[in-house]
Chain A
């Protein structure tokens, strides 16, 4: 089985930095993914970690600690367009190499 937790909602100010946490419990872990989803739209890929450490991609960075079952997504220089849901997903090998998604964190960026 698998269990993925994220905060339900977060609020931040334009230009600030926000960190969205994700904890997971799973067997056959084979990667942690972050997706962004605007309401009513398709999720779009942001970032991917398979080894421990930080992956940086422009204003977005993602961190993984496999021993702690923990990841975070860091968004810098927040813009209004960053208001969206952020989905943490675990790829599992013993689940058909499948992607299991967390409940998502709804981020509101305020002016």
Chain B
């Protein structure tokens, strides 16, 4: 158990819909990262937050947005969903940046 908690673990939704994925980082970690992993694909960096502020942005679609709240949990919002958005979405957290620890992921299936 990495200490990073993600909910929901599985989600099935229809095209055009909007979903919110939630992440609670390890206790004390200020940085939160979001990654997308499609079937047989590598981890694609989406966005990073540090203590509530956006720190870095990757190849995140405009339909996707995220935020980190004062209690340090983070949410990733995916809207106007398409079939190609079906993937495993990972949240990771870090304290010093010496390494990052991943949650179990949220499986999103768009039908």
Query: Are B33 and A99 within 8 A (Cβ)?
Result: yes
Query: Are B42 and A41 within 8 A (Cβ)?
Result: no
B contacts, CB < 8 Å to A: 2, 31, 33, 35, 41-43, 45, 48, 50, 55-56, 58, 88, 90, 92, 97-105
Query: Are B43 and A43 within 8 A (Cβ)?
Result: yes
Q: How many residues of A contact B (CB 8 A)?
A: 21
Which candidate, A16-24, A61-69, A89-97, is the interface stretch facing chain B?
A89-97
15 A-B contacts, Cβ less than 8 Å apart?
Answer: A33-B99, A42-B102, A43-B102, A48-B98, A87-B42, A87-B43, A91-B97, A96-B55, A98-B45, A98-B55, A99-B45, A101-B35, A101-B45, A103-B41, A104-B42
Total contacts A-B at CB 8 Å: 53
The 9 residue pairs across chains A and B that have the minimum distance between CB atoms: A96-B56, A42-B102, A96-B55, A101-B43, A103-B42, A98-B56, A97-B97, A45-B99, A43-B102
Q: Kindly list chain B residues whose C-beta atoms are within 8 Å of the C-beta of A101.
A: 35, 42-43, 45
Query: Are A100 and B45 within 8 A (Cβ)?
Result: yes
Q: Which residue of B lies closest to A33 (CB)?
A: B99
Q: Which residue of B lies closest to A103 (CB)?
A: B42
Q: Which residue of B lies closest to A95 (CB)?
A: B56
State in angstroms the CA–CA spacing of A12 and B88 once bound together: 28
Q: Kindly list chain A residues whose C-beta atoms are within 8 Å of the C-beta of B48.
A: 96, 98
Q: Kindly list chain B residues whose C-beta atoms are within 8 Å of the C-beta of A31.
A: 98
Q: Which residue of B lies closest to A39 (CB)?
A: B40
Query: Are B56 and A42 within 8 A (Cβ)?
Result: no
Query: Are A42 and B105 within 8 A (Cβ)?
Result: yes
Contact A98:B99 (CB < 8 A) given known A40-B88, A87-B43: no
